[in-house]
């Protein structure tokens, strides 16, 4: 009977809590910036035909990324300007740049779309040839004769900031005309964002036969592009419950454009897996 005297209080509190029988939906604030364009891709020394992808960003849930067609696109090295044409894939533009090895010089992307002009520049840095001693993975010979590779997604305190890519059986070769997620390995000159991350980061484990073929790609990065990528990972790969409030990641596209136009030198070397253990 002792609990009965509190019943009216429980009923009153329950009634107050149920006055709104419909939960109000979360209202997301719209951004005060007008983001009209996202730039993907850049210039590379792997091939003379280059590709740039332009799209309209999806700012809010429910929106879809839309390709941008009928833009005027060109890349300049300071002396020559090459105009790109839209390919059969909406939003993807392509052009042939014969002079694609101007090391330590800037290439500039120019875009005119919807009465707005955008530009972005990046400096092409030369990449050193691939050395067997610099490969970004560990190797172990298993008891059955197969070879295990353990591939980290991030390497810290590297002498030079780089991207790497391993292509092995059942995986397509690198193609700059295809814009999709690529499993790069990132070498950062900066250190780990926190003491916990190196022990919890994603490690890809491959079990390969000794006669399997592996192609290794090595990509140079400018200092500004390296900083941009590290900032992106601060909001993605490196994020944890102790991270600070998300911030805006600045690329190199003018006029409130998003993304980063980059220039990269490419070194390629092919191995048989058994060569890794010599």
Q: What are the tens digits of pLDDT across the range 28-58?
A: 445 455 678 999 999 999 999 999 999 998 8
Q: What are the tens digits of pLDDT across the range 66-117?
A: 999 999 999 998 889 999 999 999 999 999 999 999 999 999 999 999 999 9
- pLDDT-derived band at 23 (thresholds 50, 70, 90) equals very low
User: Around Cβ 96, how many Cβ atoms within 10 Å?
Assistant: 11
User: Around Cβ 112, how many Cβ atoms within 10 Å?
Assistant: 13
Burial class (CB within 10 angstroms; exposed 0-12, middle 13-18, buried 19+) of 221: buried
- pLDDT-derived band at 278 (thresholds 50, 70, 90) equals confident
Q: What are the tens digits of pLDDT across the range 183-211?
A: 999 999 998 887 777 667 889 999 999 99
User: Which residue in 265, 263, 267, 268 sits closest to 41, CA to CA?
Assistant: 263
**Domain assignments of the chain as residue spans, ordered by start:** 132-230+264-277
Q: How far apart are CA 189 and CA 201, in angstroms?
A: 17
Q: Say what the pTM is.
A: 0.83
- pLDDT-derived band at 24 (thresholds 50, 70, 90) equals very low
For β-strands 49-56 and 92-96, DSSP reports them as: antiparallel
């Amino acid at each position: 009977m002792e609990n009965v005297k509190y019943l009216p209080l429980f009923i009153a509190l329950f009634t107050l809590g149920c006055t709104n029988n419909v939960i109000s939906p979360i209202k997301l604030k719209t951004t005060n910036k007008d983001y009209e364009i996202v730039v993907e891709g850049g210039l590379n020394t792997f091939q003379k035909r280059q590709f740039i992808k332009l799209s309209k960003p999806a700012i809010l849930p429910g929106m879809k990324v839309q390709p941008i067609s009928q833009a005027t696109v060109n890349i300049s090295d300071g002396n020559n300007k090459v105009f790109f044409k839209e390919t059969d894939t909406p939003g993807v533009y392509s052009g042939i740049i014969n002079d694609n090895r101007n090391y330590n010089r800037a290439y500039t992307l120019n875009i005119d779309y919807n009465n707005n002009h955008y530009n972005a520049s990046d400096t092409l840095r030369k990449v050193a040839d691939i050395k067997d001693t610099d490969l970004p993975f560990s190797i172990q010979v298993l008891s059955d004769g197969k070879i295990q590779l353990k591939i980290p997604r991030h390497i810290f305190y590297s002498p030079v900031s780089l991207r790497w890519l391993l292509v092995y059986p059942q995986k397509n070769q690198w193609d700059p005309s295809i814009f999709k997620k690529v499993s790069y390995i990132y070498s950062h000159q900066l250190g780990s964002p926190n003491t916990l991350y190196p022990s919890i980061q994603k490690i890809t484990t491959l079990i390969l036969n000794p006669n399997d073929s592996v192609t290794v790609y090595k990509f140079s990065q400018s200092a500004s592009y390296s900083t941009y990528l590290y900032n992106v990972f601060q909001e993605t790969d490196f994020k944890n419950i102790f991270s600070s409030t998300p911030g805006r990641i600045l690329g190199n596209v003018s006029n409130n454009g998003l993304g980063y136009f980059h220039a990269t030198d490419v070194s390629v070397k092919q191995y048989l897996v058994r060569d890794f253990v010599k």
